Structure 1
Amino acid sequence: MSTQKFRHLRIVGAAGTALVLALTVAGCSTKTSSSGDKADTWKPSGQVHMVVPFSPGGGSDIFGRAVASGIQDNSSAKVTTENHEGGSGAVGYSFIRSKKGNGQYLLAAETSLIALPMTTKLGYTWKSFTPLMQLANDNNLLMVPADSKLKNLKDVVALAKKGKFRMGVSGTSSPDALVANLFQDESKVKFRKVVVQSGGEMVTQLLGGSLDGGILNPGEAGEQIKAGKLRAIGVFSDERLKGSLSDIPTAKEQGIDVSFGQWRGIFGPPDMTDAQIKYWTGVLKKYSESADYKKYVKQNDLVSDVKEPAAFKKYLSSYADQVKQALPSGS
């Protein structure tokens, strides 16, 4: 992996809804031109911006930084990773939308890009952006503090029936929130949901005792599992994970018929040119074939799943139907 340093910026949506709306309106502006863009060939000129729509420390942040590093190792591009957090991802999505046609900007995306516009009136959907490549599928674990008396999902259900289970979720339309909804519906219980800004914050609150449990990706929870500070008591997948997490039973094994994963991929702004799409697809393809990509997948217990633009779009359309079923009724 390249030893070259790249800057990390953190931009917080402090103005909330007003900022989101302002950026959304900006997305309707005239197409931005990028130097070096010709009819058939294009390559970035100057700084490339990898936008992560959540705060540092979570699965999206880990993914965005891994891909940014991979881009630098497989091209001449210089990449800055920026955290545009706020509004459950809306600040980052609206920022990317405002860069219409500008190939210098990339988005580290996942399930929330599909789910959030279904629950919040934003003026756009995932189809408003440019899918470039899916790179992996991620899993969801139910985590509890290491000293918790909860040993399995049946214990969680029993505590929830008493109205006492505090479940961490990062927004109302995040992948973990969707899993929590499915878990509630299947078990006919209600969790006391506590909204956090990212997987990193959820880990902090679990360690601090503010939560009884939370749904995290292996990459978000792995270090704490190894350190013996958090325990995974269930994975929401059809099969058990491989490797060091293979001893975690699936929800289905425990009588909870819920399986829901999330994709991770890279998008660009609206109205990218064919040349821009071709360039980034080529670079991302090289990264997906590299040793660093394989290391990222293994370290974060991901499932490698690479789809180029056409196949990625088809998959996203189908996945959107699954998301609708996982959203609360009335969304």
Structure 2
Amino acid sequence: MTIFTLSRRAAIVGATLLAMLPASSALAFEPSASECIAPANAGGGWDFTCRQVGKLLYDLKLVPDPVQVTNLAGGGGGVAYAEVVSKRNDDNNLIVAASSATSTRLAQGAFPGMNMDMVRWIGSVGTDYGVIAVSAKSDIKTLPELMDKVKADPKSVSFAGGSAVGGWDHLKILIAAQAAGIEDVRTIKYVAFEGGGEAVTQLLGDHVQAFSGDISEARGFVDSGDIRVLAVLAKDRLPGVFASFPTAKEQGIDAVGANWRGFYAPGNMSDDAYGFWTGAINKLNASPEWKKIQDESGLVPLDLSGADFQQFVAEQVAKTTELSKKIGLIK
């Protein structure tokens, strides 16, 4: 009887002590086999986001294992979005690269039957300014020269971009064209490709005459001497190695196009997992290692996560819906 009583008391004490432990020590989420989906082919901005962030998350020991990067191109990000919503909606180990291109497509209803509330928005890792570029061997040296050529003969210039027709790369051209005095921007020829890398390849092959993308995806092609940046769509010149690139504004074309970069997650991701990933992005943004990558790639800091990021994306969707209506892309 005494033995039983002692055993029972020990069990009660043990249960009490366990209950007193912080929930985080017993239930803390840690990913296994982490994956980042880049909704485009290799070489573009989404691919850059997944690979740079995924590598640094592991290097900083914010995740226990290397992050697998999966390229899932199609539909301007729609194939990846549908995959997450319909097939991987409760995957706690999955994050997906997103950007202004994502909010643009959502604003225009380009993902049939889907909206931004079907996923969870994790956080942003910076803002990537748009660029308009040509092949290094092109005889066009300035943005006004390019726009004058479009005015003279719209069919003589085809623009390539890594987003679908009506997507962010397309919109940046239309914003610049409007600022340059082109009244009917619907005459501008735009050719969509599955990622910025593929678009630049078409430019180098002389299949198109100009490229619309972002500074991060253009950097490597500038360094290799393949392309010439005619203009950065920023209010002021970027710092550091990008200081030599003129803005559209200083050339008399008052056009600004900033592309935020970040991540979303499956809509039914657990709260513990969501808390882990938002925390990991916060730590990455605060690290000197990420700040160095931002400087080298032309990203401007934009540190938003959780509810703040959710609200930011909602505002971006609303603004893009209004812009798209103004230029006749949607009704």
TM-score range, shorter chain: 0.7 to 0.9
Structure 1 residues 216, 121: CA separation in 2 closer, same or farther (over 3 Å shift)?
closer
Alignment equivalent of 2:39, drawn from 50, 53, 56: 53
- What's 1:134 paired with? 124
Q: Read off the aligned partner of 1:176 and give its amino acid letter.
A: D
For residues 1-331 of structure 1, the aligned pairs below 5 Å read: 41-73=27-59, 74-98=62-86, 99-117=88-106, 118-161=108-151, 162-163=153-154, 164-170=156-162, 171-186=164-179, 187-188=181-182, 189=185, 190-327=187-324, 328-331=327-330
Aligned counterparts of 2:158 and 2:273: Cα–Cα separation in 1: 45
Structure 1 residues 139, 40: CA separation in 2 closer, same or farther (over 3 Å shift)?
farther
Aligned counterparts of 1:289 and 1:191: Cα–Cα separation in 2: 41
Shift of 1:228: 2.4
Q: For residue 47 of structure 1, give the secondary structure of its aligned residue in structure 2.
A: coil
Structure 1 residues 51, 237: CA separation in 2 closer, same or farther (over 3 Å shift)?
same
Aligned counterparts of 1:91 and 1:330: Cα–Cα separation in 2: 21
Specify the structure having the higher radius of gyration (Cα).
2
Aligned counterparts of 1:178 and 1:142: Cα–Cα separation in 2: 12
Shift of 1:137: 0.4
Shift of 1:40: 8.0
- What TM-score does the superposition give when structure 1 sets the normalisation length? 0.83
Q: For residue 275 of structure 1, give the secondary structure of its aligned residue in structure 2.
A: helix
Any idea what the Cα deviations from partners look like across 1:298-326, whole Å, max 9, x if unmatched?
22111011112121122222222332244
Structure 1 residues 307, 152: CA separation in 2 closer, same or farther (over 3 Å shift)?
same
Q: Read off the aligned partner of 1:43 and give its amino acid letter.
A: F
Q: Read off the aligned partner of 2:85 and give its amino acid letter.
A: R
Any idea what the Cα deviations from partners look like across 1:247-291, whole Å, max 9, x if unmatched?
222222222222111111111100222211111122222222223
Bigger share in helix: 2
Q: Identity, % of aligned pairs?
A: 25
**Count of matched residue pairs:** 295
Aligned counterparts of 1:324 and 1:39: Cα–Cα separation in 2: 44
Any idea what the Cα deviations from partners look like across 1:212-244, whole Å, max 9, x if unmatched?
111122221212212322111111111111112
Any idea what the Cα deviations from partners look like across 1:8-58, whole Å, max 9, x if unmatched?
xxxxxxxxxxxxxxxxxxxxxxxxxxxxx9998342453111111111011
Structure 1 residues 40, 132: CA separation in 2 closer, same or farther (over 3 Å shift)?
farther
Aligned counterparts of 2:30 and 2:136: Cα–Cα separation in 1: 47
Structure 1 residues 268, 259: CA separation in 2 closer, same or farther (over 3 Å shift)?
same
Q: Read off the aligned partner of 1:134 and give its amino acid letter.
A: S
Q: Read off the aligned partner of 1:138 and give its amino acid letter.
A: D
Structure 1 residues 45, 311: CA separation in 2 closer, same or farther (over 3 Å shift)?
closer
8 Å Cα contact 1:142/1:233 also seen in 2: yes
Tell which deviates more after alignment, 119-128 or 83-92: 119-128
Question: Can you give the 5+ residue segments of structure 2 that lack an aligned partner in the other structure?
Answer: 1-22
Aligned counterparts of 1:234 and 1:45: Cα–Cα separation in 2: 41
Q: For residue 319 of structure 2, give the secondary structure of its aligned residue in structure 1.
A: helix
Tell which deviates more after alignment, 71-80 or 90-99: 71-80
Q: Read off the aligned partner of 1:96 and give its amino acid letter.
A: V
8 Å Cα contact 1:114/1:320 also seen in 2: yes
Tell which deviates more after alignment, 190-199 or 117-126: 117-126
Q: For residue 305 of structure 1, give the secondary structure of its aligned residue in structure 2.
A: coil
8 Å Cα contact 2:36/2:69 also seen in 1: yes
- What TM-score does the superposition give when structure 2 sets the normalisation length? 0.83
Aligned counterparts of 1:215 and 1:121: Cα–Cα separation in 2: 22
Q: Read off the aligned partner of 1:55 and give its amino acid letter.
A: N
Q: For residue 85 of structure 1, give the secondary structure of its aligned residue in structure 2.
A: coil
8 Å Cα contact 1:46/1:78 also seen in 2: no
Structure 1 residues 39, 102: CA separation in 2 closer, same or farther (over 3 Å shift)?
farther
Tell which deviates more after alignment, 120-129 or 198-207: 120-129
Tell which deviates more after alignment, 184-193 or 158-167: 184-193
- What's 2:12 paired with? none
Q: Read off the aligned partner of 1:66 and give its amino acid letter.
A: Q
Q: For residue 122 of structure 1, give the secondary structure of its aligned residue in structure 2.
A: coil
